């Protein structure tokens, strides 16, 4: 074999190697481009599906249809249910910062928002178990949450002219209790429906001065307003157990959006609104005068 033929053979090998490398790079670029296009397409579909799910929630909030199709082709399906209706446990799905309140309703809400026991369940029972504080919270911390429960009740069940207020606060921090005069919670932690809380207290309504003729009668107890104190650094969970079935505490909306092959789901809790803070400190008597 001549030198010229050897050089030609080497050149052929080099050319083949260059073509192989170039082919690998081109195929890699094509694969990456195809993948990027697929990912971008999926992201756009997912975004459209999420927007459709949001549209379903908005329709449910205004009493719209339970299913529909958006102008751009996405579809949604909505399921609306009651929160905690018929339950004895209520792990409240919203955390509280210091000063914030949430109600636990003992009477039902009519479709127009008014309170009623006519054809709807209302709670009657003698105790309420309060659980609060995220698991692991140090009770001696300066920001460990204390809890106040304010119970509004009708001295004559069903007669809102006889509304009265009972309240009691609990603080796990023993050093603070010496100055704020709050009561101590029960020893140990607290559990509601598998959710663990740092602190707990079982309250007898009779200890709050509420007559048994009130708490054992439907439409006697109206609501318990729960307020946290001291936890200015972070929000904490709250839950209750009442032993007997509760009326609905709000509405749960589950909306599913579909765009092409992408599905997204949104779950929204809309709890019934709280009363104005003035009800903590004053009530209206039958004559219309404001009484502290």
Q: Are residues 203 and 115 in the same domain?
A: yes
Q: How far is CA 20 from the centre of its chain?
A: 58
Q: Which of 248, 265, 284 is the last residue of a domain?
A: 248
Q: What is the mean pLDDT for each group of 10 consecutive residues in the chain (292 residues)? A: 56 71 70 64 83 90 87 90 92 93 94 86 95 96 96 93 93 96 95 95 96 96 96 96 94 91 88 77 50 44
Q: Do 78 and 90 belong together in one domain? A: no
Give the model's pLDDT for residue 279. Answer: 63
pLDDT at 119: 86
Neighbouring CB atoms inside 10 A of 5's CB total 9
Residue 90 located in a structural domain: yes
Domain-located, residue 197? yes
Q: Look up the pTM and report it.
A: 0.77
For residue 288, what are the β-bridge partners?
Answer: none
pLDDT of residue 10: 66
Beta strand extents in 208-249 (DSSP E only): 221-229, 238-241
CA atoms within 13 A on the CB side of 255: 27
Together in a domain, 95 and 199: yes
- The total of structural domains in the chain comes to 2
Give the three-class secondary structure for 76.
Answer: strand
User: 21-46 b/e with 16+ CB inside 10 Å = b?
Assistant: eeeeeeeeeeeeeeeeeeeeeeeebb
pLDDT of residue 15: 72
Q: Which residues contact 11 (CB under 8 A, 6 or more apart)?
A: none
Flag whether 240 is in a domain. Answer: yes
**pLDDT reported for residue 290:** 44
Residue 59: give the domain boundaries: 48-83+249-273
Question: What's residue 38's pLDDT?
Answer: 59
Same domain, 178 and 148: yes
Instruction: Specify whether 110 is located in the same domain as 75.
Output: no
- Could you please report the per-residue DSSP string of 121-159? -----SEEEEEEEETT--TTSTTPPEEEEEEEEESSTT-
Decide if 283 is inside a domain.
no
Quick check: is 3 in a domain? no
In a domain, 133, yes or no: yes
Counted residue by residue, the chain has a size of 292
- Classify residue 65: in a domain, yes or no: yes
């Amino acid at each position: 074999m001549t030198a010229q033929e050897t050089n030609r053979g080497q050149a052929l090998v080099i050319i083949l190697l260059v073509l192989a490398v170039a082919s690998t790079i081109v195929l890699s670029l094509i694969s990456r481009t195809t993948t990027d296009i697929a990912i971008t397409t999926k992201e756009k579909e997912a975004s459209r599906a999420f927007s459709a799910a949001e549209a379903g929630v908005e329709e449910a909030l205004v009493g719209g249809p339970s299913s529909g199709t958006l102008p751009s082709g996405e579809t949604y399906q909505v399921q609306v249910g009651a929160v905690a209706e018929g339950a004895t446990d209520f792990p409240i799905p919203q955390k509280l910062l210091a000063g914030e309140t949430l109600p636990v309703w003992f009477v039902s809400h009519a479709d127009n928002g008014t309170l009623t026991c006519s054809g709807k369940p209302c709670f009657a029972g003698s105790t309420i178990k309060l659980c609060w504080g995220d698991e692991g919270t140090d009770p001696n911390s300066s920001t460990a949450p204390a809890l106040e429960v304010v119970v509004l009740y009708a001295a004559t069940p069903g007669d809102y002219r006889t509304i009265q207020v009972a309240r009691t606060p609990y603080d796990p921090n023993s050093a603070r209790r010496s100055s704020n005069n709050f009561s101590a919670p029960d020893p140990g932690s607290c559990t509601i429906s598998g959710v663990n809380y740092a602190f707990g207290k079982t309250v007898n309504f009779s200890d709050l001065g509420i007559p048994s003729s009130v708490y054992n009668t439907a439409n006697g107890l109206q609501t318990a307003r729960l307020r946290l104190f001291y936890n200015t650094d972070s929000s904490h969970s709250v839950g209750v157990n009442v032993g007997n079935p509760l009326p609905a505490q709000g509405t749960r909306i589950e909306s599913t959006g579909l765009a092409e092959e992408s599905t997204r789901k949104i779950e929204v809790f809309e709890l019934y609104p709280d009363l104005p803070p003035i009800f903590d400190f004053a009530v209206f008597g039958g004559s219309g005068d404001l009484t502290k």
